[in-house]
Amino acid sequence: MRRDYSDFAAMFQAAINPLAAKLQVLEDKVDKLSQDRVTRSDIEKLSLTFVQRDMYEARHAVLVDRDKDLEADMRDLRKDCEDDFQKIHERLESGKQQIEDRLRQQQDVSLSNKDRAWVRWSQIIGFAGIILAILDWLSQHIHLN
């Protein structure tokens, strides 16, 4: 009887082992599927972190408007900067032209001063020549003893 039970247990064990292996394989597959799948409780947890659509849309619209305002302000600032740079450039160019004109005038004045000095010296030399000519004439016509 004992032997019958051990034979029966061995037969029962032999029949159950393949079933247990298949059951283990199925459990492993179910574990893999449950790891990659999202459950209802996962979705409920996520829904608590979401913002309601009407609140999101209002905030999104405000952000979009603010972005448009900032872009418009940036365009205006760029235009103002370009205008200011253009004005500065024009002022620098006009200042440069004024400086060049003043340098030309100073050169003209310095040339005029040189010309005046030359005329003065030539007049003095001419006057001295006339005096020497008169003295020479007088010395030839008047004999002093």
| Number of domains making up the chain | 1
pLDDT of residue 122: 92
User: Considering the domain boundaries, does residue 5 fall inside one?
Assistant: yes
Domain-embedded: residue 90: no
Q: Residue 105 and residue 111: Cα distance in Å, rounded? A: 10
CA 104: distance to chain centroid? Answer: 41
d(CA 65, CA 59): 10
Contacts of residue 45, defined as CB under 8 A and 6 or more positions apart, other chains included, come to: none
Residue 111: its pLDDT value, please?
Answer: 67
Is residue 19 in a domain?
yes
Please give the residue range of the domain that contains residue 40: 1-50
Q: Give domain status of residue 32, yes or no.
A: yes
- Can you give the pLDDT of all 145 residues of the chain as single tens digits? 566 778 878 888 888 888 888 889 988 888 887 776 677 787 777 777 777 777 788 888 999 999 999 999 999 999 999 999 999 999 999 999 999 999 888 877 776 778 888 888 999 999 999 999 999 888 888 866 5
What is the C-alpha separation between 78 and 69, in angstroms, rounded? 14
Tell me the three-class secondary structure of 87-99, residue by residue. HHHHHHHHHHHHH
